Every structure is written in structure tokens, then in C-alpha cells.
Amino acid sequence: MCSIFQITCDGAFFNRCLDCFLGKAAYISNLQDNLVALETKMGNLIAAKNEVIMRVVATERQQLRRLDRVQVWVSRVEAVKIEADELIRDGSQEIDKLCVGGYCSTNCTSSYKFGKQVAKKLRDVETLIAEGVFEVVADRAPESVADERPTERTLVGLQSQLEQVWRCLIEESAGIIGLYGMGGVGKTTLLIHINNKFLESRTNFDFVIWVVVSKDPRLEKIQEDIGKRIGLVDDSWKSKSVEEKALDIFRSLREKRIVLLLDDIWERLDLTKVGVPLPGPKNTTSKVVFTTRFFDVCGSMEAHRTFEVACLSEKDAWELFQEKVGEETLKSDHDIAELAQTVAKKCGGLPLALVTIGRAMASKKTAEEWRHAIEELGRSASEFPGLGKEVYPVLKFSYDSLPNETIRSCFLYCCLYPEDYGILKWDLIDCWIGEGFLEESNRFGAENRGYYIVGTLVHTCLLEEIEDDKVKMHDVVRDMALWIACETEKEKINFLVCAGAGLKEAPDVKGWENVRRLSLMQNQIKVLSEVPTCPHLLTLFLDFNRELMMIAGGYFQFMPSLKVLKISNIGYFNVLKLPLGMSKLGSLELLDISHSSIEELPEELKLLVNLKCLNLRWTDVLNKIPRQLISNLSRVRVLRMFATGYDRFHEASEDSVLFGGGEVLIQELLGLKYLEVLELTLGSYHALQILLSSNKLKSCIRSLLLFGFRGTKYFIDATAFADLKHLNELQIHDCRGLEELKIDYTEIAQKRREPFVFRSLRRVTMVSCHKLKDLTFLVFAPNLKSISLGDCDALEEIISVGKFAEVPEMMGHLSPFENLQNLDLSYLLALKSIYWKPLPFTYLKEMVVNGCDQLKKLPLDSSCAEERKFVIRGEAHWWNCLEWEDEATQIAFRSCFQPYS
């Protein structure tokens, strides 16, 4: 059997197949000719490219910029040349494969593919030759929106602030932005990075203008810098007046979108006098960013947003320090890395110090050199390479710019305190007044002036505010202050500061003769045995030598000029006795023996006729103050006796003013003509009544501690405390029969009295008041910052809703604890409620609840958690049993809880 196949093919299909075959065959047959043509035309193309490049170079010398299409063409030529050269180089091998007169190949597939590539590359070269005819190869470059500025420092520690400021510039409506911080902290570095970011980011601004303002600004110089940037400056413009130039600048910029970067402003700069269109509601196209050392300048410049450029975190500081020291040095000795971290910490996160010291240590490759550096930084930092010449002068600009000599003296006084020490503002101001820096004809006026100076130093970044009532000096700023006070030739201030130096013995007293201010504060000195001669000494700090056992008799007898003497926080392990000869301190104005273990005051203190401030706070074992001692201190303006004799008040003998729970003391206080500030401890209800009957004493009271009142049941009329206009702190301890701090709420509502009757009250503490059921009077203390309650067995509510049942119209106006920062509740066995509805707790930092198992609900809801984070400490079983407003509230506060131990 056989099969017959028949293929029918029309003419058109046959012709297409033939054309395809012949076309492919042509890639082989024309290969040799195409390779020759490719080499020839490639030479022509390179020659054309070289001519174009020569024209481009010539125009670029004329500050023109090559056209993008020219650059693209040159790049394409260079790419084609690489590919064509490779084909030409491999062409001889493919030609050797040809046979039958060049019409066929021993490897048809290979020759076909190669021939096709050559033909395509030839067409590409011909196309490029045709496109390479340019009448113009360059034009004038469009002006960059900003001029790039060099910087040595990377963005270590500044990245997040750069992003925040950038968002303000690009996204927000803030027109004027202030960056403030201490000298050397990196404000200029941040501003440079902001400037340079405009070069890498697409924005719709027309100009970014950089101007350095500096301490003594000249409008003409600022106008010239702006004029150069926007193309106004020529010979005729230079001859114009400031007003004419301002008008020209304004006309040029009012329709433009600009960013003006002003570096190093020291005082308000009137932008309208410069000619800059002022950013605001009517001008949202302009932005101004400036740097300054002074927070006050941000206000005077009417900044819409302000950012503090703070010192670096420990992690970022270490990163920057490593960068400047270099990896090679850090690895040159296995001890250096640890020692280097110690050195870095000495810089306190100040970038200028980190960079300067890091560079100085980059060549130190032995552990011994690093240990020596640590000793030198601790002993006399100004001698360390670079600090005295590069770092301190930068910081000293801020010191020199302080408004007057008084504020400069107040600043230098702060270096008497140890590194990282939290200085109580009121305590510092007491010392300033004692030294005579502040006039004391009116104590309240002097204190207000003192707080103003503290604020000035904080706003100039020479002091740091660490709490509402405390400040501290940055370590490097303190070193700079010591450099000014102790070592510069120009200043003959004669400070001797050994604070926090770890001394076990006092320095040799022979070096004290010319010293005016001496600090041996916070050491481990046990004995002061040598009697110094210090005719010029004005201030002596001996406080926080907790192991001090003995001060030699007559120790103070040769200090005739001494005005301020601090012996606080002494005698921690033993009873302290004041030495004989204290009466020789005829110029003494401030004596601070607070927090010491002194048991009695010597009679001779009666002879301190110029004493104006006596601080006996928390001398809790003091039970002997001779009668007539207090009344003989006729010039005393400030008497601090908070918790004086607290442990032994009721043991006081009849010859002590503490006898009778304070009744004798009150009588002596009534005779003090100049008394203005009084902190007092009373141990009897009758003594309290005497106090409250004296308008003079009521006007002086700042702090009041009531404790150990006798009686099984009684109440205290809290309304009477409303007359204590300056009462800042109230503590009531161990008043076991106290049932109520009473206020007539109906009377207040009917008479429409000012409800906030305790405006000055900041701190309230109640301990062991076992019959007290509530503290509702606290709703009338709007500025409370701290509440501490403990061992009050009957306390059921802090604020009682029942007290307002008869005056419901008052309930709508109540918003207690608006300024509360700390709430401490301990062993309140009956406590069920803090407040009957949720409170915002805007400023709360910490809530501690311990031993309050009946407290099942906190006055919180989910809105309290919005943008607010405070810590809640308590026992885990109490937390787990709490009832919540809703699930959202429970979830919101879950992360706030920390188990109490």
C-alpha cells in the first residue's frame, strides 16, 4: 500500500519565501563590504563628535552649559563606538568562514547573526552622523535655586531636626522659623544642610538666600548679600541709600518665592528695613529661617515655629567623636575605646567640643596618652589643646553679650556648684541676694529680679532648665565659666572651685588669702582642722560633705568679709556642732545649715547682726534654739524653718523657742520688723491660731508644716489658708484627730467669691491623718503640681461630689488638677475615688498608687492619652483589677503602667 502526498503552493507564498532567503543571505554576502563601511563611517562619526566636544569646551569657558540633547548624542556616540569596535575586531574571524566567493559560509548561522549585527550597527552610525549637526551646542545655565555651602560636619544627631524644619518649609504655613541653642551646638551646621537640601530636592522656590548676620549687624552688608544673590548689585546700586536699596529688594522679591536663611542673629532684625517681604497671612510665598543663641530673639523676630538645637544624645555624641578620632586610633590599643568613651562623655554632647577634642586625640595611640587627657580635662580643661582657643571663646560670646555686669556675675557664680548639679532656683537667688548682686530693699522685687536673671541665662542657653524649680550648667559651659572666673588675665575674680572633686582633705589653706569665692562642695572631707585667713572671702560653700565630723574652733574667725556661708547636708553619719567663733562673721548675710544633723544653735549666733537669711530647712533633729536668738536677728528678712526640729519638736526644753509646739517661736517672729519670707513648722493647734491672727506673719508664709496636733476630733478651717497669699507648700503630718479641712462651699457660691482661693499653692502632702475623709478644698488650688497622700486610713475621696450637692452650679466650673505633675497615693486603705469623672491631666508626669486596693477606677478616658504620656506605677494585682471607662481607654493606658516594687 502506498500514500501519495501532494503540495500545492501559490506563487505569492513562494516569492515571500525566496525574498526572506535572499535577505538573510545578503547579511552573509555583504558582510565584508559592511565591515569596511562601518569602520569608515565610524571614523567620520568620531571626527564629528570631537568637533562637537571642542565647541562645547569653548562655550563652557564662557560660563555656558552644554545642551542636554548634545550630551545625550555624545553619550550615544561613545556607546556605539564601543560596540562597533568590538564588531570590527571580531570581523576577520567571520570573514575567514566565508566560501563560494563570499556568498556562503562554513557556519551559516554564525555568519548570518554576525552580518545582521554589523548591518544594524552601520545603520545606527549613519543615523548618529545625520543627527550630529548642531547649530548651538550650549546655552546659559539656569541659575541654581541655592548656592551650595561646604560643611565639615555630617548630620549626626541632626537628621530628625532637619526633617522637621524641612516639613515646615515645604508643607506648613509657618513663615518665620527660629533655630536656637547654645554656642557650638550645631545651629549653623543644621542651617547649611537645610540650604544644601534645596539643591537635591525639587521645590517651587525661586531663590534661597544665605546671609550671615553676626553680633553687630549692618543693614548695608545684609542688603549687599541679598542684592548679589538676586542680581541687583552694580556700581550704581552700591551708591544708593539703605532706603532705596530696600525698595529695590522689595520690588524684586515681592512676586518671588524665596527662602531667606539668616545665620547668627543676636538681636531683632527689622526685615522691612532690609527690604524683605515679611512672611505672614498676606505673604505665604516667603520663608525666613534664622539661627540664634537666644530664645528671646525667637520672640522678638515673631517666629511662627521655634526649634531648640540641643546637645547630642550619648549615642550620637559617641558616633561623632569616633568619626573625628578615627578608627585607626581607636583600634591602636585595646584600652583606648573604653577611655575614649570617658573623654567623649566629658564633652556633654556639645558638638564643637566633641569635634575639637576628637581631632586633638586623633594622633594619640597609646592608652597612657588617653588617661593623661582624662586627668587634664578633669583638672584644668582650658589647658587641653583646642578648648581654650577654639571652644571657650565661641561660648564666651554669649557671656560677653549678657546685658550687664550683674547678670555676668550671677552667671559666673553658678560655677561654684559641681558638674551636673541641679541648682534650686530659689536657693541660688538667696545666694545672689546675700552676695549683694541684687538690691534687697524689697525682697519680692529682688526675687523677681533673680528669677528674671535665671530666665535670661536659660534663654541664652548658658543654663539649662531641668525642672520647674531647678537649673544646671552644661559641663563645657561650666568649664568655660571657670576659665573666665579663675584663669583669664582680664578678670581678677579669684574663684577657687574644688566642688565634686572627690577630696578627702581640704586644700592647703595658705592658698586662700586672695580668694573671694571658695567652693569645697560635694566632697568627702571629714575634718576642717586648719584655721584659714581669708580677708577677702565673700562666699564659702562647704555643703554636701556628708562625712564631715568636725570643724575646728575659730575656723571662721578670720573671714571678716564673708557674706554667704553654706554648711547644708553635713553630718550625715554623726551630729554636727557649729564651731566657736561664729560671732566673728560680722558681715554674714546668709547662713544655710539646712538638711544637717545639728542638734542646737549656739548663743553666739545672736551677734550676727547683719544676717538677713537663715535657712534651717529639714534640720529635723534640732531641738534647741535659745530664746531671744531669733528675735535678736533684727535684720532677718528670710527665715526658713520648714521641718525644723521635726523629729524632736515635742522634746524641746523650756529654754528653746520650739517649746510649746511653736507658740514661743511665733511670739519672737512677731518682733522681726523686716521679715518677708517665712517657712514654718508648728506642732500645736493653738500656735496655728496665733499665726493666723497675725496679718504680718500671714503675708510672709511660703511653706507650712503642721504635725502632731493633739486632740481626738477637730477640723481646720481651710478658708483661713486663703489669706496666706504666698503659701507655696502645705504639709500636714500625724494629725490623727483631724477630720476635715473645712470650706463653706455654699457661702462661696452665694457670695460669688473668686473660686481659686489658693492660687500660690504648689505642693500638698498629707501623712497619717487617720480621720480625714476627703481633701475637697484642693479644687480651689488651680496651680497644684504635686500631691502626696499616705497612711490616711479614712480617706474615701480626694474630691467629694457630695460637698457640691447643695451648690450644683459650681460643678460645671470645676476642673481640678489642671497643672498637676505628680500624684502619689500610698496606703490609703479606704480610698475609692480621686474624682468623679475623667480629667485631662495635661501636665501629669507620674502617678504612683500603692496599697490602695479599694481604688477600682482612675479618672481617665481615652482622650487623656492623646499626645500625653505619663507613668502609672502600682502593684500588678491592683492594675489588673481596675475598671475602665471603655476598652479604648484600657488599651490607651496599657503602655503607661510600670509595676511598683
Q: What is the 3-state secondary structure of 689-751?
A: HHHHCCHHHHCCEEEEEEECCCCCCEEEEHHHHHHCCCCCEEEEECCCCEEEEECCHHHHHHH
Q: Phi and psi dihedrals of 668, rounded to 5? A: -70, -35
Chain-centre distance of CA 210, in angstroms?
A: 26
Give the alpha-carbon dihedral of 511, 512, 517, 522, to 10 degrees.
70
Burial of 375 (0-12, 13-18, 19+ CB in 10 A): exposed
Q: Where does residue 801 fall: left (phi above 0), alpha (psi -120 to 50 degrees), or beta otherwise?
A: alpha
Reported as a pLDDT band with limits 50, 70 and 90, residue 806 is: low
Burial of 826 (0-12, 13-18, 19+ CB in 10 A): middle
Residue 177: the pLDDT is 94
pLDDT in tens, 741-796: 988 776 665 554 555 688 899 999 999 999 999 999 998 898 999 999 999 999 99
Residue 376: the pLDDT is 84
Name the nearest CA neighbour of 676 among 447, 392, 428. Answer: 447
DSSP classification of residue 512: G
The pLDDT of 606-628, averaged and rounded, is: 94
* pLDDT: which is higher, 174 or 473: 473
Q: CA geometry: angle at 118 spanning 114 and 122, to 5°? A: 170
Distance CA 744, CA 717 (A): 9
pTM of the model: 0.79
Residue 490: the pLDDT is 47
DSSP-based three-state secondary structure for 179: strand
Q: What are the residues whose beta carbons fall under 8 Å from the beta carbon of 577, sequence distance 6 or more?
A: 550, 551, 598, 599
Least confident of 29-38, 302-311, 656-665, 791-800: 29-38
Residues 262, 291 contacting (CB under 8 angstroms): yes
pLDDT at 128 over 90: no
Residue 888: the pLDDT is 87
Least confident of 371-375, 440-444, 635-639, 733-737: 440-444
Q: CA geometry: angle at 378 spanning 376 and 381, to 5°? A: 60
Distance CA 195, CA 150 (A): 10
pLDDT in tens, 822-876: 999 999 999 999 998 899 898 999 999 999 999 999 999 887 766 667 899 999 9
Residue 35: the pLDDT is 79
Q: Phi and psi dihedrals of 51, rounded to 5? A: -65, -40
The amino acid at residue 677 is: V
Q: What cell does 857 get?
A: 477606677
pLDDT at 393 over 80: yes
> How does 425-457 read in b/e, with b if 16+ C-beta sit within 10 Å?
bbbbbbbbbbbebbebeebeebbebbeebbbbb
Distance CA 414, CA 399 (A): 13
Name the nearest CA neighbour of 779 among 794, 801, 796, 795. Answer: 801
Distance CA 378, CA 325 (A): 20
CB-CB neighbours of 384 under 10 Å:
21
Distance CA 390, CA 355 (A): 11
Q: What are the residues whose beta carbons fall under 8 Å from the beta carbon of 118, sequence distance 6 or more?
A: 27, 31, 34, 35, 38, 87, 91
Q: Match 548651538 to its residue by C-alpha cell.
A: 136
Distance CA 611, CA 587 (A): 8
Q: What are the residues whose beta carbons fall under 8 Å from the beta carbon of 18, sequence distance 6 or more?
A: none
Name the nearest CA neighbour of 189 among 351, 360, 356, 395. Answer: 351
Name the nearest CA neighbour of 824 among 761, 763, 733. Answer: 763
CB-CB neighbours of 901 under 10 Å:
7
Q: What cell does 394 get?
A: 565661641
Reported as a pLDDT band with limits 50, 70 and 90, residue 489 is: very low
Distance CA 280, CA 885 (A): 44
Name the nearest CA neighbour of 512 among 562, 568, 578. Answer: 562
Q: What are the residues whose beta carbons fall under 8 Å from the beta carbon of 257, sequence distance 6 or more?
A: 204, 205, 206, 207, 285, 286
The amino acid at residue 134 is: F
Q: Match 547636708 to its residue by C-alpha cell.
A: 569
Name the nearest CA neighbour of 874 among 886, 858, 861. Answer: 858
Distance CA 161, CA 190 (A): 8
pLDDT at 21 over 50: no
Q: Where does residue 138 fall: left (phi above 0), alpha (psi -120 to 50 degrees), or beta otherwise?
A: beta
pLDDT in tens, 430-439: 999 999 999 8
Residue 66: the pLDDT is 78
Reported as a pLDDT band with limits 50, 70 and 90, residue 808 is: low
pLDDT at 390 over 90: no
Reported as a pLDDT band with limits 50, 70 and 90, residue 15 is: very low
Name the nearest CA neighbour of 112 among 191, 24, 42. Answer: 24
The pLDDT of 191-201, averaged and rounded, is: 91
Residue 771: the pLDDT is 94
What percent of the chain shows pLDDT beyond 90?
53
pLDDT at 201 over 50: yes
Residue 807: the pLDDT is 62
Residues 213, 263 contacting (CB under 8 angstroms): yes
* Average pLDDT value over all residues in the chain: 87
The amino acid at residue 127 is: T
CB-CB neighbours of 551 under 10 Å:
22
Give the end-to-end CA distance of the chain in Å, rounded to a whole number.
105
Q: What are the residues whose beta carbons fall under 8 Å from the beta carbon of 367, sequence distance 6 or more?
A: 333, 335, 336, 339
